[in-house]
Amino acid sequence: MKALADGHSRDARPVVVPDFAGKQALDAWLSGHDAGLLLQGPDPDSPHPLTNGRVVAQLPSAGTELARWGTVTVWVTDDGDPGGVREPRRPPPEHREAAAALEPDDD
């Protein structure tokens, strides 16, 4: 093993690239890291992190041998799933004072 300047060692054994297509971007990134690979989007200088969407393509393709901690470029598409996006709500919620005024009195 070759020692790097930061004290870590670089393992020279190649890694077989897994198939990331169809995985959620964050899951693909995590499984790539577990395999010893780095995943990046097609624009590595993009301000958007590789955490949202679904992987639709990758380069190099699955089954290719790559040096450990080599880079795999993945293309991600938005699922169109608005889960978690809750604002703005339509129609807007009623205020408690307005709702109380509409309730009949039990006097």
In DSSP terms, which residues pair with 55 in a beta bridge?
76
Residue 18's pLDDT is 96
Closest CA to 20 of 6, 9, 35: 35
Q: Is the C-alpha dihedral spanning 83, 88, 93, 95 positive or negative? A: positive
The one-letter amino acid at 37: L
| Predicted TM-score of the model (pTM) | 0.63
Answer whether CATH 3.40.50.2300 is correct for domain 2-79.
no
pLDDT of residue 10 exceeding 80: no
Q: Is the C-alpha dihedral spanning 17, 18, 20, 23 positive or negative? A: negative
**What CA–CA distances, in Å, run from 49 to 6, 46, 54?**
25, 8, 13
Each residue's pLDDT tens digit, 32-91: 999 999 999 998 888 777 888 899 999 999 999 999 999 999 999 876 655 655 566 666
